[in-house]
Structure 1
Amino acid sequence: MKPLEGIRVLDCSQFLSAPSAGLKLADLGAEVIKIEKKGGGDICRQLYVSNFKIDNDSSLFHAINRNKKGLELDMKTEKAQIFFKKLVKTADVVLINFRPGVARKLNLDAESIHKINPKIVYGEITGYGENSPWSSWPGQDLLVQGMSGICYLNGDREQDPLPFGLSMADLAAGEHLCQGILAGLFNAQRTGEGCVIQTELLTSLMDLQFESFTTFLNNGNELPVRSGFHNANPYLDAPYGIYTTKNGYLAIAMCPIAKLADLLDYQELANFIKTHTVEQDSDEIKRMLQTKLLTQPTEYWLAILQPADIWCTKVLNWQQMDNAGLFEELKMKQEIHSSEGKHFYTTRCPIRIDGEIFTSEKGAPTLGEDNVKFGIKEE
């Protein structure tokens, strides 16, 4: 039995952030009902990141909304409002992620929901907060990355700000919302009262940087300086970084430079660090390491460094990960069956409870897939 079995979630959200929270809750056993607007549904259905389609929708939509039921409602009509109120009475959680003010127009705001069911745990994600100066701005992931400062942690010193190649703000906010909802459900069980869980794309991305921000806020607001060569973390000196080898790439984490020079049989580096410090000459040390590491393949260096307890690894792309058996060994791949009979693969829930791995083969719903089951008749 999954821990959230018996919990009903009304997922009224769209795009990536809050729907990803619904996905996490579904993976833990909750019944998640995705409620989409009539005549097109979630815009994410047509948000393509590749040419790969599933049931005429984007693969992104199916990745975020698998394992959910689906209803299509025109919330601007009285009939839909009456039905939705009945549904709220049976629910434990409501999820939204509209711009401030939109939920109230549709009677989906927390106050309206709690009048129907005071025990509801109401989860909301906005871009920048309901009352901030930027509340009306579009809550789009790249824009939030740009505002958050995180783009100045990537790339080398002379490079332009560099965003992450993932929807970091959306996914972080979804994780934070899920965390808050779980706390809210526990509190509702204990007190009989619901609550409002809120987070923002921007605050979530700021929280991801808490380690770096703690240094910044207590160091006279001094900006971190990215390495000029092979930057991997602006607060960590050589050898921390990724290096090119004769046949690929090698990641090396923190370790004493003198030990590394000895293991690499690199006398030039050993002599250099006698008169130079890692703090002042980190970039030059990295350049010297790069020159040495280019002379042999990755496997050659791993055979020397790993037995000596140097923290290092081969840098893998996704094909190399798969070929190396990472998906198989960790059982991270699961097969999903779409509503129209198509089979595809995605990752599973990464959480294990008492050793149990949680999977579900149910794909994302087609638009209004469960309308008939819930007694909604087409007009």
Structure 2
Amino acid sequence: MTEINSLKPLEDLLVLDFSQFLSGPSASLRLADMGARVIKIERSGTGDICRTLYISNQELDGDSTLFHSINRNKESFAVDLKNPEELELIKKLIRKADVMMGNFRPGVMERLGLDYEQVKIINPQIIYGEISGYGDEGPWRDKPGQDLLVQSFSGLAWLNGDADQPPMPFGLAVADMMAGAQLAQGILACLVRRGITGEGALVQASLLEATLDFQFEVLSTYLNDGKQLPERSSVHNAHAYLGAPYGIYQTQNGYLALAMGSVIKLGELLACPELTTYTDSKEWSTKRDEIKQILVEHLQTATTEQWLSALEPADYWCADVLTWSRLMGHEGFTTLQMTQQVTRSNGASLMTTRCPIRMDGQLFTSTKGSPRIGEHNAAILEEIVGLG
């Protein structure tokens, strides 16, 4: 695996991350991947709640694998923020920091005296990032910012599933990940501005706004189409606004994804004459389910490999539908070198993904695993605060 030998772009930047769970830590993970020194500010004794947030029965060295995957390449400083002496230590760290971030409910950081208005008095040049569930105003302000709830509020879950099925959420925490990505983007933009003007900044993102932005394509269509709701297909719905053949279909031995394309050409390539009768492209939308039902029955008569051998040489947009085990055994995946092994200071190791960004053709990797609670207290006090 090729690694960057020169300085990473965020080298020598100090990030204080007060966030928990997924959204904030995913943002600081990306900053760490690009060279920043990220210090997790954790509660003494219990630490980030994500340490005990399990998405499977797997655990490594006392913490959930979820925590390990999203907090690799970071340090941990454990404190009691309600203790005035320990809070003073945090303020000394803030004076040295470039970025500070958190994802508490509105009002929490204010009560601790660590909101942006008070922090910028300590460090006027700091870039202060915060993630909330629904923004800091409005009737939803104090609702719990949990991913499934946000997917439901935003209309995203309603887009998924067939017409006769209930709303279906994504199978992973998309609202958290998107909000984290947007916070990281905002922080990076303000770091660039600070390099020009010397100004600090407050950067805000919310799970709801991130999820609404994720839907900008379909929401724009809705807003400019007389606010007519799209109809989910009753046959293998994949995109509420797209006509046939768009969807995933069962074959004799697996599944086949079909994207946008001519229904006439598809009928010719699949040797399915019924499809070639739909000569008007408008029918591909108005008779979407009728056409897709023909495909449902026809595609089960042969294997995925047989269909791909007919479609791919003609450059018809299609794909095998892979499980993770098949994906990771494929040369298309292994060529990307997308996994890396990270190791804690005590030798506990985890296989996980790497940073997906390449710069100058090179990869950002790091073997540094997630920290144990307060593991770096002594080093941070000595190196940054100046207490031996």
TM-score (structure 2 length as normaliser): 0.95
**Alignment correspondent of 2:155:** 149
Question: Post-superposition shift, 1:15?
Answer: 0.8
Residue-by-residue CA offset, 1:274-321 (whole Å, 9 max, x unaligned): 799222211111111121111111111111101111010100010110
**1:60 partnered with 2:66:** yes
**Alignment correspondent of 2:187:** 181
Equivalent residues of 1:20, 1:171 under 8 A apart = yes
Question: Post-superposition shift, 1:375?
Answer: 2.9
Residue-by-residue CA offset, 1:124-152 (whole Å, 9 max, x unaligned): 00001111211111110100001000011
Structure 2 residue matching 1:76: 3-state secondary structure: coil
Output aligned runs, 1:111-122, within 5 Å: 111-122=117-128
Question: Post-superposition shift, 1:340?
Answer: 2.6
Equivalent residues of 2:278, 2:284 under 8 A apart = no
The verdict on how the C-alpha distance between 1:276 and 1:32 changes in structure 2, with shifts beyond 3 A counting, is closer
Residue-by-residue CA offset, 1:252-293 (whole Å, 9 max, x unaligned): 111111111111111222235579922221111111112111
**1:281 partnered with 2:308:** no
What is the one-letter code of the residue matched to 2:60?
I
Distance 1:3 1:275 in 2: 49
Output aligned runs, 1:38-187, within 5 Å: 38-187=44-193
**Alignment correspondent of 1:244:** 250
What is the one-letter code of the residue matched to 1:69?
E
**1:316 partnered with 2:315:** no
**Unpaired segments of 5 or more residues in structure 1?**
none
Structure 2 residue matching 1:75: 3-state secondary structure: coil
Q: 218, 221, 227: which one pairs with 1:221? A: 227
Question: Post-superposition shift, 1:343?
Answer: 1.8
Distance 1:254 1:40 in 2: 50
Question: Post-superposition shift, 1:371?
Answer: 0.7
Question: Post-superposition shift, 1:39?
Answer: 2.1
Structure 1 residue matching 2:94: 3-state secondary structure: helix
Distance 1:193 1:212 in 2: 37
Equivalent residues of 1:336, 1:360 under 8 A apart = yes
**Unpaired segments of 5 or more residues in structure 2?**
1-6
**Alignment correspondent of 2:40:** 34
**1:17 partnered with 2:26:** no
Structure 1 residue matching 2:371: 3-state secondary structure: coil
**Alignment correspondent of 1:7:** 13
**Alignment correspondent of 1:351:** 357
**1:373 partnered with 2:382:** no
Distance 1:30 1:109 in 2: 22
Question: Post-superposition shift, 1:119?
Answer: 0.3
Distance 2:241 2:313 in 1: 27
The verdict on how the C-alpha distance between 1:204 and 1:26 changes in structure 2, with shifts beyond 3 A counting, is same
**1:292 partnered with 2:298:** yes
Residue-by-residue CA offset, 1:133-176 (whole Å, 9 max, x unaligned): 11111110100001000011111001000000110110000000
The verdict on how the C-alpha distance between 1:54 and 1:327 changes in structure 2, with shifts beyond 3 A counting, is farther
Distance 2:13 2:300 in 1: 55
**Percent identity of paired positions between Structure 1 and Structure 2:** 52
Distance 1:19 1:276 in 2: 46
- How many residues align structurally? 377
My pick for the range that moved more, 200-209 or 259-268, is 259-268
Equivalent residues of 1:54, 1:338 under 8 A apart = no
Distance 2:335 2:220 in 1: 37
Residue-by-residue CA offset, 1:71-117 (whole Å, 9 max, x unaligned): 00111111112111111111100011111100011122001110100
**Alignment correspondent of 2:206:** 200
Runs (4+) of structure 1 exceeding 3 A deviation are 271-276
The verdict on how the C-alpha distance between 1:51 and 1:340 changes in structure 2, with shifts beyond 3 A counting, is farther
Equivalent residues of 2:102, 2:129 under 8 A apart = yes
Distance 1:73 1:103 in 2: 15
TM-score (structure 1 length as normaliser): 0.97
What is the one-letter code of the residue matched to 1:89?
R
Residue-by-residue CA offset, 1:205-247 (whole Å, 9 max, x unaligned): 0000000010011112111110010111011010111111111
Distance 1:146 1:114 in 2: 36
Equivalent residues of 1:55, 1:338 under 8 A apart = no
Distance 1:252 1:150 in 2: 22
What is the one-letter code of the residue matched to 2:155?
G
Distance 1:261 1:283 in 2: 16
